[in-house]
Amino acid sequence: MSELVIVDHPMVKDSLTHLRCKDASRTDFRRHSDRICEFLFYEAVADLQLRDVEVETPLETTQGQKLSDEVVIVPVLRSGLALLPAALKFLPKSRVGFVGFERDEVTAEARRYYWKLPSISPTDVVIITDPMLATGGTSEHVIEAVQETHPGRMIFVSVIAAPEGVERIQNRFPDVKIYTAALDDHLNAQKYIVPGLGDYGDRYFGTE
């Protein structure tokens, strides 16, 4: 079963409370979302591989280390874009792909409408971003499709997750490590995360 990492830093907990508040302004929502995403990526990249290098300081030559892993960031449109600034802040040379899925509000099933990925090699690390891991249906489709490109490994980053979605991903993809700021209680009858924070994309992009 894949590992679930809950990033419960005090600053993350504080910002998450702001995100949950239905009266949070768009400015506050974005600011606290960006803060949480930076903490999430700080943890998500902790296992990236390093290579030894020589570096010239003002005084002498010494040994150092640089990242050796090549990373591909794949935001799930559109709310996954909210995590992209944090990803590029830590990994500015990363290649970026985009996948678009639309949820049917009746069946809660995901339908793919956009797919544009860079070339992916067996040594690449792919980080998929989607702030809400609810049923896991969209995430399952994305991970399954990315697997066909044969990356070295995959990481999934979300802000809030439901137990149902986590279980679905863990059972289907035991090698995919999941990072999230909170594991919420359950999904309601409409398949929304409870207590959750509403529609992430609408609140972040102002399309309520």
CA distance 161 to 34: 17
Between CA 85 and CA 88, with CA 87 as vertex, the angle to 5 degrees is 65
Helix runs in 60-199, H state only: 84-90, 137-147, 163-172
What residue has token string 């559109």? Answer: 78
Told to judge if 69 belongs to the known catalytic residues of this protein, a careful annotator would answer: no
Is 35 one of the annotated active-site residues of the chain? no
- The verdict on whether 199 is a catalytic residue reads yes
* Sequence-distant (≥ 6) Cβ neighbours of residue 189 within 8 angstroms: none
Catalytic residue, from 103, 149, 153, 172: name it: 103
Cα–Cα distance, 186 to 158 (Å, whole number): 16
153 is catalytic: no
**Out of 8, 14, 26, 107, which one is annotated catalytic?**
107
Of 8, 47, 104, 202, the catalytic one is: 202
Query: Which residues form the catalytic set?
Result: 103, 107, 199, 202
